[in-house]
Structure formats: structure tokens, C-alpha cells
Amino acid sequence: MSGTSADGIDAALVEITREDHQPAVKLLHFEQRPYPPGIRDRILRLPDHPDALREVCRLNVLLAELFAQAALHLLEAASTSASEVALIGSHGQTICHLPTPVAEGDLVLRSTLQIGEPCVIAERTGLWTVADFRPRDMAVGGEGAPLTPYPHYLLFGHPGRCRVIVNLGGIANLTVLPSDVSVAAIEAFDAGPGNVLIDGVVRRLSGGTAEYDVDGAWAASGRVNQALLKRLLGHPFFRRPPPRSAGQEEFGPRMVEEIVVEAEQKKIPPADLVATVSAFSVEAVVGSLETFVFPRHPVREILLCGGGVRNRWLKGALATRLEPRAVLTTDDVGFPARAVEATAFAVLAYLTFAGQPGNLPSATGARQAVPLGKIIPGKGYSGMIL
Ligand SMILES: Nc1ncnc2c1ncn2[C@@H]1O[C@H](COP(=O)(O)OP(=O)(O)O)[C@@H](O)[C@H]1O
Ligand SMILES: [Mg+2]
């Protein structure tokens, strides 16, 4: 898995067994490998690349080689041989996500593009590979995102306790798991920016020497500029009711550039700007919860996951804003926060291989639940999970 942040590859080794008619999921091993120098830049700058078509074509294969290396490295670290593994699930790297329907003649189209050629992954590892999960959901009218709610339910559903999972990735998304643990009642949608603008502003202000605001220290040394925050919260995305999903198109390099230029004009000090975009992420999550979740669900616990959990400013500000509700991380309930999303795609790959749907129409807005992705044959027989 590599998310919108394009920070690197998350690889999870997961054991899935069938218990009580639904998969039981156990994390065996997890590794995070930052992309080699330059790759993140190439991904984030794709829209402005002068020869973007060739660059996409090349990155599709380059990223797949890196994904395959990450999988093989993970197996080595876990002292597990590839022959013990049934299949790989690869989300790929999103390079374009256009969920809003557009008319083309008589057709109405939604589109999304994840790269990291699965044929290369299958060839290098010898393993059956399931990839490209999002387009099938779009083909039945969905946003193609978020796809992690059902895996979230398997990992964190708790009878008698309404929980919200908040994934602080590049984009922040949330999943409401009702206390009656009914799958049909799960709701999920993108809240808005997670780390994506913080990372972008930090990279820009540090002249590229820092990739993110380590532990939220920069934000902690600044003061939130309320006027800029208010303007940011006027973004039309927040007026859209769920189902909704976002990407670099809504909150990405262009917005970073606008914000940095505005801050220079208004003489907003760098630390204040980092604090302000961090507060923007906090308010995106809090506003989404207050508008769409709290009025209808008796939320007992908010469980944070994703890389943003390590940003102490972000975590602290969320806890303060959401008081008196309990804000925890998934680590507090026994599952590593940084491994949740990669594990989710292992689960989705398993479901696809078993011919079962992985999307939840209540989350993506799809007309129906469908099996997701494409299956690339490996070198051996992989009937073992069926
Ligand atoms: N020590 C840290 N301090 C602050 N932020 C961090 C730290 N470690 C990771 N992050 C943030 O987490 C992001 C990666 O989160 P991740 O869940 O992988 O997002 P995505 O799914 O979009 O790739 C990084 O880009 C960074 O913003
Ligand atoms: Mg990541």
C-alpha cells in the first residue's frame, strides 16, 4: 500500500482465516519502507511533468518493482517463504482520482488511476496478485473510496460500543462502526486533508529539507492564524454530503502553493502557517464528525490510525476538540496504527480471490457491492485459501 502522501510503501503480512462466516484477520509482520530519494517528488509532480504520459508509463513499472521488493523484504524479515503465502494485494499508487461524474455524450463517467503494474509484482514474487481495487466500485457508480470500511469493521467492530475509525493518511477518512455491528449500517467517507497539506507546506517552507513535520514540533511552536483557517474551511468539499472522497486534486500541490503565497503576502510566520494547516486537518475531521456523525450516532470511542498518529500536535488537538469523547489510537485496542491500511488491502485481496464483494455501497455510494480488483496469476497453484 502507498497512500496519497506518497511517502513510501507499507507492507503487511497477514493471516486470514474464516471464522463464524466472516474473515478473522491477524497481523503477522509489518514494514514501512520510504520511497527512495526522488520518487515522492516524481509522483507528486506528475501533473506538471512536461512528458507526463511517458513518465506514468515508466513509473507504473518502477513502482511495481519497488512494491515487489517491499513484499520480498517483508517475507525475509518475517522468515517466511513465498511458498507459504497465498496471494498479494496491491493497492498501487494513486496518481489521479476523479470521482465526480462527468458527462461524455450519453455516458456518465467516474475515473481513478492507481499505478504499480501488478504483472511485475506477480512475476518478481511468483505470487498471485490482486490489484486495482477502485475502478470496479466506480463502474457501479461509486466514489471508488473509501474501501477500507469493511476491513475496519473486521478489525475494530465492537458489540455495544459505537466506534469511529479516523485514518490520518494524506487524506483523512473516517468509518463509523455502529454498536449493533451490522455491516449495512456502516458509514464512511473522506473528511478532508490529513497530512497532505502539512507535508506540502513543510516541504516548501524547509526548501525540501524536511518531508513532514516530525512529531508535530513545528506546528507546536506556532499559533493558528484564525483568518486563514476560516478561509480554508470555506472549501466547497466540506459542503458536499457523503458519499465523498478526495485526493491531491482537492488538497494537493496546487493548494499548497496558494497557501504559501498567501502566507508570504500576509506575513504569516512559517511556524504559524504549519500550525494553521495542521489545524485545518483537525477541523476537517471535527467538522465532518459534528455534521454527519455525532447527531445520529452515540459515538463512544474515536480510534486514530495512519501516519498522522505520529504527529503529536495533530493527535493532541483532535483529543482536545473532541472532548469528552475518548480519542485513542488503534494501538490502544491492540492493532498497530500504521499497519491498518495495508492490512485492509490484504483483506480486500482475500475477498476478491474468494469471489466476494469488498466495497460497501453505504460508504462509496455504489449501486451494489461487487468483488474488487484484478487477479494476476502467480507461478504456482493458489487454491489454498479457497
Ligand atoms: N514522526 C512523524 N511525525 C509527524 N508526522 C508523521 C510522522 N511519521 C509519519 N508522519 C506523517 O504520516 C504520513 C504518512 O502517513 P500514511 O498513513 O502512510 O499516509 P498515506 O496513506 O497517505 O500514505 C507522512 O507523510 C507524514 O505526514
Ligand atoms: Mg503512506
Strand partners, 177: 163
Find out whether the peptide bond into 324 is cis, omega within 30 degrees of 0: yes
**DSSP states of 155-218 as a string?**
HH--TT--EEEEEESSEEEEEEE-TT--GGG-EEEEEEESSHHHHHHHHHHTTTS-SS-GGGHH
Q: What residues flank ligand 1, with Cβ below 6 Å?
A: 2-5, 7, 169-170, 195, 198-199, 212-216, 306-308, 310-311, 341
CB-based contacts of 203, cutoff 8 Å, min separation 6:
210, 211
pTM for the full predicted model: 0.96
Identify the residue whose C-alpha is closest to ligand 1 atom 13. 307
**C-alpha torsion angle, residues 301, 304, 305, 311 (rounded to 10):** -160
Centroid of ligand 1 to alpha carbon of 172 (angstroms): 11
Centroid of ligand 1 to alpha carbon of 204 (angstroms): 16
What value, to the nearest 5°, has the Cα angle with vertex 25 and ends 20 and 26?
A: 130
Running along the chain, 386 residues long, what does each successive block of 10 average in pLDDT?
96 93 95 96 94 98 98 98 96 96 96 98 97 98 97 96 97 96 93 98 96 97 98 96 93 95 97 98 98 96 98 98 97 98 98 95 97 93 55
Identify the residue whose C-alpha is closest to ligand 1 atom 20. 3
If one looks up domain 149-338 in CATH, what number appears?
Answer: 3.30.420.40
Looking at residue 381, its pLDDT comes to: 63
At 255, which amino acid appears?
Answer: M
Q: Which among 307, 324, 113 is positioned nearest to 212, based on CA atoms?
A: 307
Beta carbons of 345 and 1 less than 8 angstroms apart = yes
Fold type of domain 8-145+339-385: Nucleotidyltransferase; domain 5 (3.30.420)
Identify the residue whose C-alpha is closest to ligand 1 atom 15. 307
Q: Ligand 1, from 173, 212, 313: best to mutate by most atoms within 8 Å of Cβ?
A: 212
**C-alpha to C-alpha distance for 135 and 132, rounded to whole angstroms:** 7
Ligand 1 atom closest to the Cα of residue 6 is 23
Identify the residue whose C-alpha is closest to ligand 1 atom 21. 3
Tell how far CA 37 is from the center of its chain. Answer: 22
Strand partners, 344: none
> Where are the CATH 3.30.420.40 domain residues in the chain?
8-145+339-385, 149-338
Distances (CA, A) of 171 to 13, 40, 94, 194, 200: 24, 16, 12, 4, 13
Cell numbers found for residue 259: 497557501
Beta carbons of 172 and 194 less than 8 angstroms apart = yes
Q: Using N-to-C axis directions, what is the helix angle for 270-288 and 196-205, rounded to 10°?
A: 180
Identify the residue whose C-alpha is closest to ligand 1 atom 5. 311
Element (H, E) at 119: helix 118-125
Phi and psi at residue 377, to the nearest 5°:
-60, 145
